Amino acid sequence: MCKLPVVMLVIMQTNNIIPANGSVVMYVDMNSFFASCEQQEHTELRGKPIGVITHPSAHACVIAPSVEAKKWGIKTGMRLPDCKLLCPQMIPVVARPYIYRMYHVKIMEVLKQYCEEVVAKSIDEAVMNMTSYKLVYQDFKALALQIKADLAIACGDFVKCSIGISANSFLAKLATEIQKPDGLIEITPDNIDDYLKKMKLTDLPGIAKANERRLKMIGINDPYAMRHASEALLRKAFGGVVGNYWYRRLNFYDKIDLHSSDYKAMSAARMVSRVQRENRQALESLLISLCTRLEQRMVKQNAFCREVHFYIRFIDLPGWETKVRLNDATQDAFEIRKYIIQQMETFEKQHRFVLFNNKVQHMGVTVASFIHGDRIQYGLFDNKIKQDEARKIMYQIKDKYGRDIVRKAVETIYPHEMRDAIGFGSVKDFVPSNHQREMNQYLLQDDGPSPVPKHVLELRERKKKALEALNHKQAS
């Protein structure tokens, strides 16, 4: 009887932190996800080193090397020429974001069959809080094997994952890093030190070079020493409460937080191909494409932004960026573009430098400071109410009949360059929220160029032959 008040006191003091053996968390990390999806879709790519790239270019960036490519030393972020030096036979594959999103949906459907508390941390990672299922599942390693088998049925044998099990999300995530591909590791108080002794500080998720230097300055040279350091010493190393977090993570104390909050910001960015950077119209169309992508996402979330941030990165030149604070919240793509263009024109006049030039390498737009549509206050004399309603209806039509049924004129300009991009980060658009009643189906449609109708191809061929005959006649 005397233990009950003590236990209650500990829970209150530690802000719902659950001690070791009190919780069970399972972390699912898909292996080489984009590349694995492509290998599953195309039998000729299976077992071969491939690299998923953002756009068809000889100098494109690899965003996802396959397991076979990684064995040759190819890493995410490498350029194709560097990859070819390491692995001449590597096959570049242009990304198809809608395919990876479709697989993500399948994966989440499988995981939710076993647990209600499942949250996607990114498009290829998810965490499952199994604490309330301890009496349902007696052996969580056996359960993990069953989940792997079900994922193979739902997605295919080439879409594999590593699963980590532990008392908190961090250690479960760390377990997935220990054994790849197709790993299954459980970290417990009995075996954690054995694993940590074999690691470097930068092997811990969240510890980069800067934090590594901080820790080594106070004598913590590896994860094992970090785990056994005092909480006060870690506070000193990290300069505050972050040190407390690290102490608790490594010692099986951590608050289990599966809450998925609303967006604080939305971003759309693209690497610019050589074809695009040589044509100002293509660059301007790309900017509108980025704004349109954000417009679509805001419409789905019934959100309006009051802040716009835009940046450009150049080859061999300093980058440029601007931030605009809006008096009236908006979700309209062309209004967002208008504010960006105004800032660009002001800069160009002052510095006599054209921003859309043949050195552009990367550009991105971010919208933030959201307000929900129900709280928008319209002016007495403006007509934005009708515009906003028309925009919603347009996307409802696109959702029902396909994205091509209604399109902005700019979406027909350079369609092969206006490819969708895939983010590794937030997947909130897949999750119904207070503002979004259903998943954003628009993300599951092919955002690449539509196939040219057969009769159009035949007409082009006839025109080509007629022109060749005319040229031949004039030459003779």
Q: In whole angstroms, what is the distance from residue 59 CA to residue 110 CA? A: 38
pLDDT at 260: 54
Give the pLDDT of residue 49. 96
Give pLDDT, residue 21: 53
User: Which residues does the annotation mark as catalytic?
Assistant: 125
Q: What is the pTM of this model?
A: 0.71
pLDDT for 424: 47
pLDDT tens for the chain, 476 residues: list them.
343 333 333 333 333 344 445 789 999 999 999 999 999 999 999 999 999 998 787 888 899 999 999 999 999 989 999 999 999 999 999 988 888 988 999 999 999 999 988 988 888 999 999 998 988 998 999 999 999 999 999 999 999 999 999 999 999 999 999 998 999 999 999 999 999 999 999 999 889 898 999 999 999 999 999 999 999 999 999 988 889 889 998 998 865 555 555 668 888 888 787 778 888 888 988 898 889 888 888 888 888 999 999 999 999 899 999 999 998 899 999 899 999 999 999 999 999 999 999 999 889 999 999 988 888 877 666 668 888 888 888 888 877 777 667 776 655 655 555 555 555 445 666 655 444 445 555 566 565 544 444 555 566 677 777 777 777 777 76
Amino acid 37 reads C
- Please report the pLDDT score of residue 367 as a whole number: 94
